[in-house]
Amino acid sequence: MPVQNKTSLTPIDQNIYSDFDKSHNISLIQGNTIEILKSIPNNFISLIITSPPYNLGKIYEKKVDFEDYLQKQEEVIKELIRVLNLNGNLCWEVGNYISNGEVFPLDVYFYHIFKKYDLQLRNRIIWHFGHGLHCKNRFSGRYETVLWFTKSDDYIFNLDAIRVPSKYPGKKAYKGPNKGKPSGNPLGKNPSDVWNLLKKEWESAFWEFPNVKSNHPEKTIHPCQFPIELAERCVLALTHSNDYILDPYCGVGSSLIAGIKHSRKVIGIDKEAKYIGLTKKRIQDFLQGNLKLRPLGKKIYKPTGKEKVAQIPEEWKDLT
């Protein structure tokens, strides 16, 4: 059964170290992921959360044959499973690999790799967002997938930390020993495995968060940055205060900042010096209270229809 625990948050050492040591609370390491992982002990990490390269030929990756890409990722995954502790969690956030106009859903391919090493899938979370590239020969992609795996049946899951308001909080049990009493939980209901779909007004904005595009306050030079909020849900639900969180492809450090924000210890690895430098600055800015963030729970802006950009252009009116 999942382990439930309530812990108070405690301040952590704010030094940022460039190597791994058990005594470090913030490790930010540049280099080869597999080589650095070898320095981490077995069963040491409570949560691994990352978004690996998609083999799309971005500036930080060399596009290779798809099978070679999966093989290299499997080598990393084996090391990740080794360092993950027995009641730990692993969140693998991926989109699609596109080749010659054909879509290859990466979560499908990665699922079989993780199952090969006996990990158990607890949820396939769909993160839906509203903006992205507009396709011409297929529907435009507007979601990515988070595969949440555990190493055993005895895993951390802090449901109370991530509950959302119930639709009918006044609903009462109609039979049994609690007949006539409220049937729900006073803290709210268990969220669904679809994050950021269109919501009713009664639902909390806690699960509404956009992808990081040009007008997002967290936007950096990284082309595939995910929002801190995405990592926060996983941090709150799947770790306790002072647990270790690892991101083996940390990019510009969104998952690390999410961990530090909630008094977790973090280890980030990336091969790109410019991203390591930017992550270090973002962490320092966060610790000093200067980092621009999208607040957890902020509602997504919805146009009223009166904005100029929401109006049909005059030259289109005869065509609609």
Q: Looking at residue 199, what is its pLDDT?
A: 45
Judged by phi (left if over 0) then psi (alpha if -120 to 50, else beta), residue 57 lies in: left
Q: Looking at residue 99, what is its pLDDT?
A: 84
More confident residue, 178 or 113: 113
Helix (H, G, I), strand (E, B) or coil at 291: coil
Residue 245, pLDDT > 50, answer yes
- Provide the token pair at 91: 């969140």
How many independent structural domains does the chain possess?
A: 1
245 strand-pairing partners: 47, 266
What's the chain's length in residues? 320
176 within a domain of the structure (yes/no): yes
What pTM, to 2 d.p., does this model score?
0.81
Residue 202, pLDDT > 50, answer no
11 within a domain of the structure (yes/no): no
10 within a domain of the structure (yes/no): no
Q: How far is CA 194 from the centre of its chain?
A: 13
Residue 196, pLDDT > 90, answer no
Residue 306, pLDDT > 60, answer yes
Residue 166, pLDDT > 90, answer no
68 within a domain of the structure (yes/no): yes
14-67: per-residue pLDDT in tens?
899 999 999 999 999 999 999 999 999 999 999 999 999 866 544 545 667 889
Band (pLDDT 50/70/90 cuts) for residue 174 is confident
Domain that holds residue 264: 26-319
9 within a domain of the structure (yes/no): no
CB-CB contact of 13 with 25 (8 Å): yes
- Give 170's DSSP letter: T
Residue 3, pLDDT > 90, answer no
Q: Looking at residue 173, what is its pLDDT?
A: 83
CB count within 10 Å of CB 73 equals 19
72 within a domain of the structure (yes/no): yes
Q: Looking at residue 112, what is its pLDDT?
A: 96
Band (pLDDT 50/70/90 cuts) for residue 192 is confident
Residue 198, pLDDT > 50, answer no
128 within a domain of the structure (yes/no): yes
188 strand-pairing partners: none
Residue 274, pLDDT > 50, answer yes
Helix (H, G, I), strand (E, B) or coil at 34: helix
Q: What is the CATH number of the domain that holds 304?
A: 3.40.50.150
Residues in contact with 285: Cβ distance below 8 Å, sequence separation at least 6, in sequence order: 291
18 within a domain of the structure (yes/no): no
